[in-house]
Structure 1
Amino acid sequence: MALYFRKKVLLAAIEASYGLDEVPTGAANAMLASEISINPMEGSDLERGHDTPFLGASGTIPTDLHATMTFRVELAGSGTAGTAPAWGPLLRACGVAETLNASTSVIYNPISGGFESATIYLNIDGTLYALVGARGDCNITVNASAIPQLEFTFTGLWVKPVAAALPSADYSAFLKPLAGSKANTPTFTIGGTNHVMRNFRLGLGNDVQGRFLIGPDAEQIVIVDRSDMVETQIEAVALATLDPFALARDQETVAIALAHGKTAGNIATIDVPQAQMQRPSGLTEGQGIKEWSLNLVPLPDAGNDQWTLTLT
């Protein structure tokens, strides 16, 4: 009987101990995601390379086994200020801290140690693919006339796929998102000045690597570095209002603020206090209007404060 690729259930939970399977369930840990893709058995193949009196292959040995997965989750809050969204564990497994302020806000910011990890299950029509000890990277996108997204890439230690019944999934914790628009995205500023924006991306820039050595706890997926980046395309303005060329030349920084959402419990605000302008790579146009594609590097001040994502 054919197995349907469309029939998928994605589950994820933070691990209490690195690499310990948290056994996520459809009732508590279902993730409403799209564009799910998995490479279930990545690694290397070592050639045995025997010298023999006859021609022919001598076989290989698979090593450094791991799995990778990509998918998107809609950027929306929990519906209650101070309550973490259902996708919170995914962002936490990308080297990000989650701070809950009761009845007020949930704040996410990058960290430089003590990284959490996740167990991620993907069941495709009765076959269970599992990643344990998973850590990842994320891009946060807010574009005009599009659904804001969290775009995840995860790497996890390999687990042999097994047959398992497709679980029921409870997606009730996921709110309907709002498309990026003038009404739904009331704030976008660079240097404290409002700008007309076409697209925006905050990339965490995590360097995620597999570490496969010998000894206790010697096999891990680790985050070894980070290089955050903001990419945005805005309507060009008079240089007296914003001069990206002078800012790049002088290595100047500007603050970036973006707020999306209209109702309490479903407002997401991205703040980048000091972003260094990079050299504009060129000019572009949209509908005959001159636009700038800008790249900016979020810079830390005290550390781990180069950006925040606040849900209120």
Structure 2
Amino acid sequence: MSGSLRSHRSAMLAKLETTYATDSVPVAGTDAVVLQEAEITQMDADAVERPRLTPHFGARPIALTALKIRATAQVDLAGSGAAGTAPAYAPLLRGCGMAQTITPATRADYTPISAAEESLSLYWFLDGQRQRALGARGSWGLEIAANQFPRLTFEFLGLYTPPTEVALPATTLTAWREPQVANTTNTPVVTLDGLTVALESLRYRHNNDLVFRDLVNRRYVNIQERRPVIEVAIEAPTLTAKNFWALAEAGTTFAAVARHGAAAGSIAELTAPRCQISQIARRAADGVEMLDMTLVVLPNTGNDEVTLSVR
């Protein structure tokens, strides 16, 4: 009897491609990903039914088309270990339509682009099987919750390749930094319109629109559009301190900033300079009034609506 596959024995490798959908051959020594969680759909396809008239009831034969792979992953949000060095998760961000700018000894910045997006070769290992997704592009998000490890979230769409039997690799993970729990010490800055807020949770979604195109002689994943949002839950300030209701009614734009990490080499900061409140609601938690808000993240001149800085 063949052995079963154990889902906890898994690994992911990711490497940027030089030529779209040409395997960049990620290796366990330099391209491994430290995962909080992950899930992969090994075959996502459309079923095309063969037209056929018959004198009886019954299903028609099908053919599977538009073969693709969907994968989600969550990784620790942390610094790179040294200011001016790209973090280990940089290739994942770049595969989501984010440009990388390195300022030596100072910072690594990730900002949106609207053309010439990079792509990834993703390898997923599951206890003796390997699944490859080539030409993968994705979308990303960021989650910070009080007294939890913050994380980056990713969703990828790539070209399907059949799984093969390959031994689980011994990965090298030294480039990945240890995360810090989100709290007052480790998350020193969370501001909305300049007001320091008591944060319960913040959730950023880049919301890339991923489109799979399957044509004769051409198959690819395209990023068509993006509509970023921030969902934030805070203790309600007094109206004198900040009247978010008035900001929502007037359609006023303001900056949102969340910085995790206090020392150089451990800092990751999300900045959205122009946010607008699209939803606002009250609720109670432990007898304290809370505000739940959804913010639309707007560009200014273009490709500048959000920056993730690691320093």
Please report the TM-score for the alignment, with normalisation by the length of structure 1.
0.96
CA distance in 1, matches of 2:38, 2:299: 33
The Cα of 1:56 is off from its aligned counterpart by 3.9
* 2:87 aligned residue (78, 85, 88): 85
CA distance in 2, matches of 1:289, 1:58: 60
Letter of the 2:298 partner, please give it. L
CA distance in 1, matches of 2:95, 2:285: 37
Residue in 2 that maps onto 1:199:
201
Residue in 2 that maps onto 1:237:
237
CA distance in 1, matches of 2:120, 2:255: 32
Residue in 2 that maps onto 1:277:
277
- The answer to whether 1:211 aligns with 2:210 is no
How does 1:123-202 map onto structure 2 within 5 Å?
Answer: 123-202=125-204
How does 1:19-98 map onto structure 2 within 5 Å?
Answer: 19-98=21-100
**What residue ranges of structure 1 are gaps of 5+ in the alignment?**
none
CA distance in 1, matches of 2:237, 2:4: 56
Contact 1:249 1:279 in 2 (8 A): no
Cα-to-partner distance string for 1:85-117 (whole Å, 9 max, x where unaligned): 111100111111111111110001111111000
How many residue pairs get aligned? The number is 309
- Residue 116 of structure 2 aligns to a residue in which SS? coil
RMSD: 1.1
CA distance in 2, matches of 1:62, 1:21: 23
Residue in 2 that maps onto 1:247:
247
CA distance in 2, matches of 1:32, 1:76: 12
CA distance in 1, matches of 2:214, 2:287: 53
Greater alpha carbon shift after TM alignment, 220-229 vs 187-196 = 187-196
Contact 2:37 2:75 in 1 (8 A): no
- Residue 247 of structure 1 aligns to a residue in which SS? helix
The Cα of 1:284 is off from its aligned counterpart by 1.1
Query: Which aligned runs of 4 or more in structure 1 are off by greater than 6 angstroms?
Result: none
The Cα of 1:57 is off from its aligned counterpart by 3.4
* % identical equivalent positions: 35
Cα-to-partner distance string for 1:24-70 (whole Å, 9 max, x where unaligned): 11001000012211111101111113223455433110000001011
Greater alpha carbon shift after TM alignment, 46-55 vs 63-72 = 46-55
Contact 1:195 1:234 in 2 (8 A): yes
CA distance in 2, matches of 1:43, 1:239: 52
- Residue 279 of structure 1 aligns to a residue in which SS? strand
Please report the TM-score for the alignment, with normalisation by the length of structure 2.
0.97
Contact 1:245 1:279 in 2 (8 A): no
- Residue 36 of structure 2 aligns to a residue in which SS? strand
